[in-house]
């Protein structure tokens, strides 16, 4: 991570992404913008994927990724330091436009600062203000020049507040389409020293707090389903030692930084809430959605959140397609029952039909290119 700013060439974009999914989608956006504006220059906050795509990385999202009310309060000093540093980086880089990727607690403080400086403000992947803090829409309307949304119902939501936005489709469809299909199960098993039993994937998330709360419950499934082998798709952001300590003697294989291949070969999955729920569905894997947060944070969230579901799959479909086990519902008994249901052939067939409908609602491939065209004015 270099300290000096890149030299001036073409149009300059400062990008802020504060978590792993933002890093993925912003990296694909950078590549598409480069196809349109070959001399464009990128600088910002993000992750390894954005850096690999050609962005000058000023701060990694690992230093910014705090989840839950209590965790945020405990890290306020760090958050404010990061905000000050981000503003200094913008001042130094002098961008023509700033692209904010989700991450609202941070980005909705950067947006008015950039607007005051006369910088074009583009928001790619709307904050989930339709779920809670809907009054944020007024701040967005004041300080965001272009809002690009990725969920089909978000356009109608913003229209209710007389704000024009562009629905570009979901960039996960692009990310998965770019992923090389791997039908060689034998090769996959050999690479990770797996046996012949069918695979159940465990996706416990990327943050330490959520992994500590959810993975122990998921691991208990290993004793109930001896005909299956369990694979933990490990987040790159956490150390192998951290996972090994939680797993102990459980009969589980850890696979790092290869989640998509794990999903390609999985019969079913236990998935923490978030983007991973949608990724799992797009790989046609039956799943149980698992969520357990800090008790006080969860209590506060329940008073504020205005949606019926926590998983993207159910939110987009506006009905329960995948089972959600939330807080106290995430127990060994409940997870065992739901996982057993998923392994029944009839349930799989039913889910595949609903997953096909889900993909259709998401607008098809090409979200990153459509977003790049709007950002560069090429459309």
Same structural domain, 190 and 164: no
- DSSP code at position 38: T
Q: How many other CB atoms are there within 10 angstroms of residue 3's CB atom?
A: 6
CB–CB of 230/202 below 8 Å?
Answer: yes
Q: Please indicate, yes or no, if residue 6 is contained in any of the structural domains.
A: no
| Burial readout 311-346 (b: 16 or more C-beta within 10 A, e: otherwise) | bbbbbbbeeebbbbbbeeebeeebbbebbeebbeee
Mean pLDDT by 10 residues, the chain (379 residues): 57 94 93 97 96 97 67 68 95 98 93 97 90 82 96 91 94 84 80 95 88 94 97 87 92 93 96 90 96 61 61 92 93 97 93 95 92 91
The rounded distance, in Å, linking the Cα atoms of 371 and 367 is 6
Same structural domain, 276 and 215: yes
Same structural domain, 347 and 370: no
Q: Please indicate, yes or no, if residue 96 is contained in any of the structural domains.
A: yes
Q: Please indicate, yes or no, if residue 29 is contained in any of the structural domains.
A: yes
Q: How many other CB atoms are there within 10 angstroms of residue 193's CB atom?
A: 7
Number of structural domains in the chain: 2
Same structural domain, 192 and 330: yes
Same structural domain, 248 and 236: yes
Same structural domain, 370 and 225: no
Quote the distance between the C-alpha of residue 256 and its chain's center.
17
Q: Please indicate, yes or no, if residue 5 is contained in any of the structural domains.
A: no
CB–CB of 275/312 below 8 Å?
Answer: yes
Which range of residues forms the domain containing residue 44? 12-170+365-376
Same structural domain, 56 and 161: yes
Backbone angles phi, psi at 209, to 5 degrees: -60, -45
pLDDT the model gives residue 330: 93
Q: Please indicate, yes or no, if residue 67 is contained in any of the structural domains.
A: yes
Q: How would you class 221 by CB atoms within 10 Å of its CB: exposed for 0-12, middle for 13-18, buried for 19 or more?
A: buried
Q: Please indicate, yes or no, if residue 3 is contained in any of the structural domains.
A: no
Same structural domain, 79 and 111: yes
Nearest alpha-carbon partner for 173 in 368, 32, 34: 368
Nearest alpha-carbon partner for 207 in 71, 38, 17: 71
Same structural domain, 326 and 192: yes
CATH number at residue 326: 3.40.50.2000
Same structural domain, 282 and 253: yes
Q: Please indicate, yes or no, if residue 339 is contained in any of the structural domains.
A: yes
Q: Please indicate, yes or no, if residue 252 is contained in any of the structural domains.
A: yes
CB–CB of 35/53 below 8 Å?
Answer: no
Q: How would you class 111 by CB atoms within 10 Å of its CB: exposed for 0-12, middle for 13-18, buried for 19 or more?
A: buried
DSSP-derived 3-state class of residue 160: coil
pLDDT the model gives residue 181: 65
Same structural domain, 65 and 141: yes
The rounded distance, in Å, linking the Cα atoms of 355 and 366 is 19
Same structural domain, 115 and 223: no
């Amino acid at each position: 991570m270099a300290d000096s700013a890149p030299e001036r060439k073409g149009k300059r974009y400062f990008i802020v992404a504060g978590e792993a999914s933002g890093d993925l989608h912003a990296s694909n956006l950078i590549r598409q913008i480069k196809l349109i504006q070959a001399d464009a220059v990128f600088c910002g906050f993000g992750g390894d994927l954005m850096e690999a795509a050609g962005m000058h990385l000023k701060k990694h999202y690992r230093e910014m990724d705090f989840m839950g009310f209590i965790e945020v309060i405990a890290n306020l000093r760090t958050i404010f330091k990061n905000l000050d540093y981000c503003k200094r980086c913008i001042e130094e880089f002098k961008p023509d436009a700033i692209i904010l990727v989700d991450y609202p607690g941070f980005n909705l403080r950067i947006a008015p600062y950039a607007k005051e400086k006369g910088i074009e403000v583009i928001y790619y992947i709307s904050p989930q203000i339709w779920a809670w803090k809907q009054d944020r829409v007024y701040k967005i309307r004041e300080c965001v020049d272009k809002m690009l949304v990725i969920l089909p119902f978000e356009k109608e939501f913003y229209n209710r507040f007389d704000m024009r936005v562009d629905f570009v489709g979901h960039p996960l469809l692009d990310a998965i389409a770019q992923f090389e299909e791997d039908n060689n199960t034998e090769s996959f098993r050999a690479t990770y020293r797996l046996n012949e039993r069918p695979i159940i994937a465990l996706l416990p998330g990327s943050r330490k707090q959520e992994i500590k709360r959810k993975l122990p419950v998921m691991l208990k499934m290993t004793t109930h389903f001896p005909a299956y082998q369990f694979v933990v798709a490990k987040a790159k952001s956490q150390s192998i030692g951290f996972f090994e300590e939680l797993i102990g003697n459980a009969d589980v294989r850890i696979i790092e930084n290869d989640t998509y291949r794990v999903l390609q070969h999985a019969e079913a999955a236990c998935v923490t809430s978030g983007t991973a729920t949608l990724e799992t569905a797009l790989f046609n894997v039956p799943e149980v959605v698992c969520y357990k947060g800090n008790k006080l944070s969860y209590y506060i969230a329940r008073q504020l959140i205005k949606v019926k579901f926590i998983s993207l799959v159910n939110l987009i479909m506006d009905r329960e397609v995948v089972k959600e086990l939330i807080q106290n519902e995430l127990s060994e008994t409940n997870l065992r029952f739901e996982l057993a249901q998923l392994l029944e052939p009839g349930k799989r067939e039913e889910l595949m039909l609903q997953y096909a409908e889900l993909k259709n609602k998401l607008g098809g491939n090409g979200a990153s290119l459509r977003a790049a065209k709007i950002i560069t004015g090429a459309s």
